[in-house]
Chain A
Amino acid sequence: MRRLLPYPILSACLASTWLLLNAPLSPGNVLLALSIGLTVPTVMLALRPQAVRVHAPGTLARLAVIVLYDMVRSNIDVARIILGLRRGERRTGFVTIPLDLREPFGIAILSIILTGTPGTLWVQYDSNTGCLLIHVLDYTDGEEWVRRVKDRYERPLMQIFAP
């Protein structure tokens, strides 16, 4: 099983990408999708990427919902700031977040989440200290941002990519 499917998630993604591009479903396309899903990941073996293990699929689904909600809300917030619809003083600033998450895949996902929610910008991550520097468009309280990133995103990611 391990030799046949070294990267099962990659295989599934490749096969479904092929099927999406070549819809509608036909027996020939399914056969091609299966053969691509089986052969291409074996080529990837030469690059020796680290295999991903996803735990807690329930947490993954809950995280997806949270991120989707935050993305829509922060899009609207940033649009209001740009169009000048928000009253009052607005401050921007840098926030340093000490991350406990060390899994490379988890950090990659976190960078996608923080980029996908406008209003937070990933500036720098130091893998030695585990400190992440972000820039926030609506800086109210640094501690609040640290708590928000850690509670909403980092903790679920640590559960999902637990070694």
Chain B
Amino acid sequence: MKTAPPETGAFFARDRIWHPPALTPGYKTSVLRSPQKALISLEGTTTELTGPVFGHNMLGPTDNDLIVNYARPGEMAIGQRILVHGRVLDERGRGVPGVLVEFWQANAGGRYRHKKETYLAAIDPNFGGVGRTITDDEGGYWFKTIQPGAYPWPNGVNDWRPAHIHFSVFGHGFAQRLITQMYFEGDPMIARCPIVRTIPDPQAIEQLIAPLDWNATVPMDMRAYKFDIVLRGRRSTLFENRKEGN
């Protein structure tokens, strides 16, 4: 990683209109799990400006290859092979290095490997559904996986999740902490999904849809999807604000 001096400027305020609100009755579970009182808003303190660092040395060789990281030796997960790649950027458009990116997903049939999962689609004995990586000096990341399937879920009588991959992202300050989901270009189920629709702004939804990236597609091997992730930006310390009360 580059040895630039650490940034300590305040993070830009989060645009709460761009994110989903806590209470979204179309996603029923949110009704009893959404705080009803206003958030207490203030610019972050030392606690939120700082955050843990994860080193590349914690990664195993197949951490970013879901096709093989749970498979028996010589075997592979069933499904369409894909490469997911992109950059983690901040709101100023700069790549963010050293970001821990964790991802998890259903198998090609739309089934998760989980005790509480009851969907009748088959478990793939060679697919665990989890991986992780750390961004490079330019904020770039990639992993190999299989295209996840859509799956039904108990919300409305007939609600289905579009194919998606869950992402957990650690920036440099805890204020940047983010969990989100990636969808696939051209999927007609995106617009019907009550979880997607917790996001009020259609442009914000588009930010979660990864395009098919033909140039990054590996001939005779796997198609590629590009998914860039944007974390909160921070002000230059040159323009740091005055102390409160001064």
Asked if A and B bind, the verdict is no
Chain A residues proximal to chain B, CB less than 8 Å? none
